């Protein structure tokens, strides 16, 4: 098979690395896939891809674009109306519970009142929730981004989102469920007002008018084949505005790091739409599992209040299944001397690491990644 170097993607940049994995996962999720492979070139840390369906870079871009292209449904207004009906029904449930509580009934009497007066309201709210979710999933560019604008949903909404994904999942079509596993976990209490615990790879949550799923939903419909080509095959010039996942360390725009006012006229933040679109497709390779105080995520290590993301670069051309297995190795996030020896024996060339840092406060609080450093290479 022809091997194509993706000269625009830098494996030492977390956005470039995740975009490369997004390429591999996208290729393997399309019809006709037959063990597409990827390796990393030692001279420049650029990925090289091989796939029997393509013999040129242009063919690769067109194939990827056919798998990434999405369109939004026409029923956005209907979905919004369904959401309002659900919210009103949920409010009626809460009001009725509060009203029963004010009666100061004995425990047994209170339960009888709840069964008689609240149950049918809950059933109606659940019916309206399902109608809203169906409308939202049908009209979103992809069901995976139909949870909302950010990974900040209450536990009960995230639980319902996961349930909806599970009911539609098959062995051949499991992308929605895989994204659910990557998005995070329930908080772990029975309090429906508690928020889900999001993956630490979600660096934006609505602060500063930056939305995680909202940005991806926009990229799904606005990103073009030219954006994909620029990200994969050309030097990054950051021509695009908005819809960034903040995975590129260059997007750390604090005053102390810039020669100009980062909020000044003509100095708006810029990004690479194609790279962000592809990076999102890599998230299912980093699932979360429930833990206290935060979910545990593959390739992520917590050290007190500090959070680090580490990733491996490898020598032999690997399939997606092999990469998925590689990312589970605990040695990738370890600092033990023996870890590097074990990873070298498996064909790894290097491990790079970045730290997630908090920037800003209040309504303008979000996260950045620091420039990556080699753990060993």
pLDDT at 285 over 70: yes
Longest dimension (CA), the chain: 76
**299 within 8 A of 309, measured Cβ to Cβ:** yes
**261 within 8 A of 4, measured Cβ to Cβ:** no
Mean pLDDT of the chain: 89
Provide the pLDDT for residue 305.
Answer: 87
What backbone torsions phi and psi does residue 300 show, to the nearest 5 degrees?
A: -115, 130
Q: Say what the pTM is.
A: 0.84
Cβ atoms within 10 Å of 346's Cβ, excluding its own: 13
Cβ atoms within 10 Å of 27's Cβ, excluding its own: 25
pLDDT at 192 over 80: no
Is the pLDDT higher at 300 or at 358? Answer: 300
Rounded CA-CA distance 238/227 in Å is 11
Provide the pLDDT for residue 225.
Answer: 97
Least confident of 24-33, 76-85, 320-329, 352-361: 76-85
**242 within 8 A of 347, measured Cβ to Cβ:** no
Averaged over 227-246, what is the pLDDT? 96
């Amino acid at each position: 098979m022809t091997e194509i170097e993706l000269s625009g993607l830098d494996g030492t940049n977390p956005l470039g690395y995740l975009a490369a994995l997004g390429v591999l996962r996208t290729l393997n999720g399309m019809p006709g896939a037959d063990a597409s492979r990827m390796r990393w070139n030692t001279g420049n840390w650029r990925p090289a891809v091989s796939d029997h369906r393509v013999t040129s870079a242009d063919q690769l871009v067109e194939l990827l674009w056919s798998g990434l292209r999405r369109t939004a449904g026409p029923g956005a207004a209907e979905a919004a109306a369904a959401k309002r009906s659900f919210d009103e029904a949920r409010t009626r449930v809460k009001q009725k519970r509060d009203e029963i509580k004010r009666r100061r009934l004995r425990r047994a009497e209170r339960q009888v009142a709840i069964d008689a007066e609240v149950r049918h309201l809950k059933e109606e709210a659940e019916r309206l929730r399902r109608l809203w979710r169906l409308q939202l999933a049908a009209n979103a560019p992809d069901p995976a981004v139909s949870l909302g604008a950010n990974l900040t949903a209450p536990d009960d909404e995230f639980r319902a989102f996961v349930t909806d994904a599970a009911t539609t999942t098959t062995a051949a079509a499991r992308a929605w469920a895989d994204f659910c596993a990557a998005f995070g976990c329930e908080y772990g209490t029975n309090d429906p007002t508690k928020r889900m615990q999001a993956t630490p790879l979600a660096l934006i949550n609505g602060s500063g008018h930056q939305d995680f799923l909202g940005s991806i939903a926009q990229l799904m419909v606005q990103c073009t084949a030219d954006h994909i080509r620029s990200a994969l095959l050309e030097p990054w010039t950051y021509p695009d505005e908005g819809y960034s996942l903040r995975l590129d360390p260059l997007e750390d725009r604090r005053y102390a790091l810039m020669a100009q006012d980062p909020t000044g006229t003509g100095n708006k933040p810029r990004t690479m739409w194609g790279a962000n679109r592809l990076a999102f497709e890599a998230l299912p390779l980093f699932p979360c599992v429930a833990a206290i105080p935060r979910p545990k995520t593959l390739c992520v290590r917590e050290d007190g209040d500090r959070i680090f993301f580490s990733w491996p670069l490898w020598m032999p051309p690997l399939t997606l299944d092999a990469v998925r297995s590689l990312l589970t190795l605990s040695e990738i996030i370890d600092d033990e001397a023996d870890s590097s020896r074990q990873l070298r024996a498996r064909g790894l060339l290097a491990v790079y690491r970045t730290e997630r840092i908090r920037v800003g406060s209040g309504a303008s609080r979000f996260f950045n990644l620091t420039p990556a450093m080699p753990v060993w290479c």
